[in-house]
Every structure is written in structure tokens, then in C-alpha cells.
Amino acid sequence: MNKYLIFFCFTALSLSAQKKVAITIDDVPNVWIKEKSDSKFLKLLDSLNIPVAIFINEGHLNKTETFAENLTLLENWIRKPYVTTGNHTFNHLHYSESTLENYKEEVIKGEEQTRRLSGKYRKKLEYFRFPFNDLGANSLQHAQILAFLRSKKYINTPFSVESSDWMFNGLYEHYLKKGDVVSARRIADKYVSHTLEQFSFFEKISEELYGRQISHIYLCHDNRLNTDYLSQITNALQNRNYTFVSLKESLKDKIYDSKDHFKGKWGFSWVYRWIKEPAERSRLMKREPSIAEIEKEFEGMR
């Protein structure tokens, strides 16, 4: 084999191994942090220099006494050129436990400041994500709210990978508060390794089901754990040949036009929702890397 051919094969191989992921962050803004005017998470994201989409709960602005400060924090997120904005409802309710009318109000109330600030920074507010990824308890609930979102020109935002970062964060903050840095570190390390395992798992599933790597969408939250450890995850993904793309770019993958066959309320990955047969779906879900020990620890803490 001559050296040009070797070079060609190498390039072709690395191109085919190129993987894409969009990072999405829910429950923004975290108004419970100390450094609101100088958010550590935003500083981290500035340094990572990757696009992110954020899903906002405007109700958070009223959760602490300093509304004006909280609003500035939200604006600091929205003004970042790498940020795409999204509505995550006002109060983060379970849609399956809410009435349609109430939930519509939640969507409308949840976009007031976000729409204004998005406009200020020449951004379009076009993404919506269901809290808990709860699209309703049955097909009627699903259809009703999706029709409403369409009438509001919202895109219902899916995800392919998540790793229960909210649960790890609960434990992480708990141990930090107790001054138990060793346990906090153990939880954080497990979060990083579990997230990377989840990526490996969904890469495998993607290959099995579609014979290729789909463009992924990772769901995580605006919390202390990601402030401290998201960079470890993005670094590792970069080493695995991932490029970080915007939500818009990731959604261009035609896989996201697939039919959602799941009509229940549980908030699992769209990769499972695209599977028609419930038995096949649960067979795959059972193969997912387990965090039973973390779940147990979390329950114990609560």
C-alpha cells in the first residue's frame, strides 16, 4: 500500500468515526448559587467554547428574594453567543398531573422574560422541553399539548442520552454541605464514568438499530456537579472523536423525524420512544448501565 493510499484510508476512517453531540442544559437559571453575578458555570462554558441549548424555568426567578439579581443571571445566560434558548415551563410541573389549560398557561407564563431577552440578543425562541420529559399520561394528552406547541411554533426538544445527573448532584451537594469531600469526589467520579458509559451504550444501540452513529443530544442540568465536572465529560467525549454541535445542527439528523411510539408519561430517551414494540423497548432498557447503588444511596439520603 503506498503512503497516499494509507493517508486516504486514515482520513476516511477518522471521518466515519466522527461523532456529534449537542449539549442541552435544563432548569436554568440556578438561582441558589452564591456567585450569581459571576456564575462559575458560565465561566466554565465560556472556557469550553461549545454551543449549548438551555431550557429555562422562569419561576426560578421568584424562588429567592432577589428577583432583579436572578433576572440578571438569566440575562447573562441568554446573552452568550453560544447559547440557544428554550422554554421549560414556568413551574416545572408534571404535565400528566396537570390539566391542559393549566399547562398551556405554564408554557405562556414561562416565556415572558425569555422571549424578551432572546429578542434583545437577536435570538429566536423556538425550542420547548417538557419537565421530567413528561409528555402526558396517554395518547390524547400527548396529542393535545403537541398541537398547542405546534400552534405556538415550538419544537418539542428530544434527547438521546442522559445520566441522571440530578440524582448524582443531590448526593454531591449533600456531601459537600457535610464537609465530606471524599464522598463528594466519589459521587462526582461516578457521575463522569457513568455518563461516559451511557454514551458508549447509546453508541452501541445506535449501531445495532440504525447501522450508524446518530447525532446525539445530551440532557443535563444547571447544577453544581456540572459546574465542577462537565468539562471532564466534554474532554473525554472530544477524545472519543465527538464534535460539539448546536441543538439545531443535531436535530438535522433525520432520526429526529422518527415517530414517537411511546404514549406514556415516563421521561426516557427518544431512542427508546422510536421503538415500536414495547417488549423490544424494555429489552433494550434493561441493558442500560445500572446505577442501582447510587439510587439506593440517594433514597437513603432522602
Beta carbons within 8 Å of 15's beta carbon, 6+ residues apart: none
Q: What is the DSSP code string of 24-55?
A: EEEEE--TT-S-GGG-HHHHHHHHHT--EEEE
Q: CA nearest 76: which of 113, 22, 23, 21?
A: 113
Q: Are 199 and 256 in contact (CB under 8 A)?
A: no
Task: Pick the stretch among 8-16, 20-28, 95-103, 259-267 that binds Zn ion (CB under 5 A).
Answer: 20-28
How many residues appear in the chain? 302
Give 27 or 228: the residue with its C-beta nearer to Zn ion.
27
Give 26 or 297: the residue with its C-beta nearer to Zn ion.
26
Give 89 or 118: the residue with its C-beta nearer to Zn ion.
89
From residue 103 to residue 132, what is the string marking binding to Zn ion with x (rule CB under 5 A)? ----------------------------x-
Beta carbons within 8 Å of 1's beta carbon, 6+ residues apart: 9
CB of 23 to Zn ion, least distance (A): 15
Give 27 or 162: the residue with its C-beta nearer to Zn ion.
27
CB of 88 to Zn ion, least distance (A): 6
Give 206 or 226: the residue with its C-beta nearer to Zn ion.
226
CB of 164 to Zn ion, least distance (A): 12
Backbone angles phi, psi at 14, to 5 degrees: -70, -30
Task: Pick the stretch among 9-17, 22-30, 190-198, 285-293 that binds Zn ion (CB under 5 A).
Answer: 22-30
Q: How many residues bind Zn ion (CB under 5 A)?
A: 3
Q: CA nearest 146: which of 130, 162, 160?
A: 130
Give 154 or 242: the residue with its C-beta nearer to Zn ion.
154
Task: Pick the stretch among 7-15, 23-31, 196-204, 226-234 that binds Zn ion (CB under 5 A).
Answer: 23-31
Give 27 or 58: the residue with its C-beta nearer to Zn ion.
27
CB of 7 to Zn ion, least distance (A): 47
CB of 129 to Zn ion, least distance (A): 7
What cell does 228 get? 465542577
Q: Which of 25, 27, 118, 170 binds Zn ion (CB under 5 A)?
A: 27
Task: Pick the stretch among 25-33, 176-184, 186-194, 247-255 that binds Zn ion (CB under 5 A).
Answer: 25-33
Omega before 158 within 30 of 0, i.e. cis: no
Beta carbons within 8 Å of 66's beta carbon, 6+ residues apart: 36
The CB density around residue 175, as the number of other CB atoms within 10 Å, is 19
Give 222 or 253: the residue with its C-beta nearer to Zn ion.
222
Q: Which of 26, 134, 162, 203 binds Zn ion (CB under 5 A)?
A: 26
Residue nearest to Zn ion (CB): 26
Burial environment of residue 284 by CB neighbours within 10 A (0 to 12, 13 to 18, 19 or more): middle
- Measured between alpha carbons, how far is residue 40 from residues 26, 44, 131 in Å? 16, 6, 24
- 162 is a site residue for Zn ion (CB under 5 A): no
Point out which residues bind Zn ion (CB under 5 A). Answer: 26-27, 131
